[in-house]
Amino acid sequence: MKILICNKNLKKLHTGTSRNVYEQIRYFVSKGYEVNIAAETLDTDSIKSFGAIPHKTLRLPWLSGYKRRSFYSKQCDKIRRSIKPDLTIGHGDYQNPDIHCIHNNIHLAYEKIHGDDIDESDDMYRIHTPIFKNRSFKHIIANSGLAKSDLNTRFGIPKKDITVVYPAVNEKKFHRIDDERIEEIRNSLNVNNNEILIGLITSGDFKKRGLDIFFKALTEISEKDSRNIKILLIGESNIPEHYLSIIESSNIKEKILFLPIQNNIEEYFNALDVFILPSRIEEFGRVVAEAMACGCPIITNTDVGASEILKNESRKYIYSNQHPEQIPEMLTELINSRVLRERLSINNLESVRGILEINTYPEFDKVFSAFL
């Protein structure tokens, strides 16, 4: 059997989409299939090391936006005609695969982030909308119930044509580490044992991830309860001044530890006492699942798809995105109770087991076997 997977950008391996592509590579290679990858930017050696065949598409420097994505899609058509795969999978920019893996509901995201409908002239609208309106696909894989519901209600795509497969957590990387190593990481951050380390870790886009909401919530923690906290913020760029102005007059600014994206991100998850993701929208939000796999208590909201995998007592710390004022109260509870944090840690470690990569292969089997 021959598989073609199309994703325009595979150079940034820390992004959720790239990780999902690599999950599929490992899955199909484990089945003994020939796996072909079509991408405009990619790490050729990495693709080969996973047992796949890279096909680097041409990038014309004078093309950008919609035209560049359209050109990429046409090249995928050409590769498809050449290698004649048994199944073609697209991850966003390719218009004509058998199965679309949808990571971003761009219409929903625009509404949540900007409070308005996306304009029909927007490049992302022009790329993504025909996918759902033309319905040339055989099936869609959505990364959450939230994403599936939006595709069903917005475009009338039948629920039977959409399967939810949560992005997997690589259990070889994301797991609980020993206490000695945790202490080393915390020491490297100058965090004492009696201090509570609160984190927001993201690949970027501070507006979407709600950095302003995060900072505002922290300023509303009482002085007594915030005395022994430190805040770890990991992201792709420096913190813009208009976000810092939110905490300018509080004692929070001096408590922030900012780091660029780290390759050993799992160690920082392990070092946290609480992980908060106050995003305006996350079709899934892989960092939530990865933090859970490292034993973090989580505070997040109903517009984060990964909130669907939180169970039992942990669900008490999912707030409505219309009411972020609930965050300070939730956070204060966690700051003041080590026992509660330990309970949620154990609960999240158990809840995330269902989407460890080793356990998601049966979900892939259900979807892909119907088309092979």
List the structure tokens of 210: 């709600």
Q: How far is CA 216 from each of CA 146, 236, 249, 328, 329, rounded to the nearest angstrom?
A: 26, 21, 12, 9, 13
Domains 2-168+358-371 and 179-355 share a fold: yes
- φ and ψ of 193, to 5 deg: -65, -30
Higher pLDDT, 263 or 295: 295
Residue 313 neighbours by CB under 8 Å, 6+ apart: 343, 344, 347
Amino acid letter, 83? I
Give the pLDDT confidence of 61-80 residue by residue, as tens digits: 898 889 999 999 999 999 99
- Report pLDDT digits (tens) over 268-304: 999 999 999 999 999 999 999 999 999 999 999 999 9
- CATH 3.40.50.2000 applies to domain 2-168+358-371: yes
Residue 236 scores a pLDDT above 80: no
pLDDT digits (tens, 9 = 90+) for 1-23: 999 999 999 987 667 788 899 99
CA distance 93 to 80: 15
- Gyration radius from the chain CA atoms: 21
Q: Output the six-digit token pair for 336.
A: 């003041």
Q: Which fold has domain 179-355?
A: Rossmann fold (3.40.50)
- Pick the closest to residue 201 from 108, 263, 111, 112 (CA basis): 263
Distance between CA atoms of residues 134 and 360, nearest Å:
30
User: How do the domains of the chain map onto residue ranges?
Assistant: 2-168+358-371, 179-355
Q: Which pair of structure tokens corresponds to residue 47?
A: 């693709």
Q: Which pair of structure tokens corresponds to residue 91?
A: 């991850």
Given a cut of 90, is residue 251 above it in pLDDT?
Answer: no
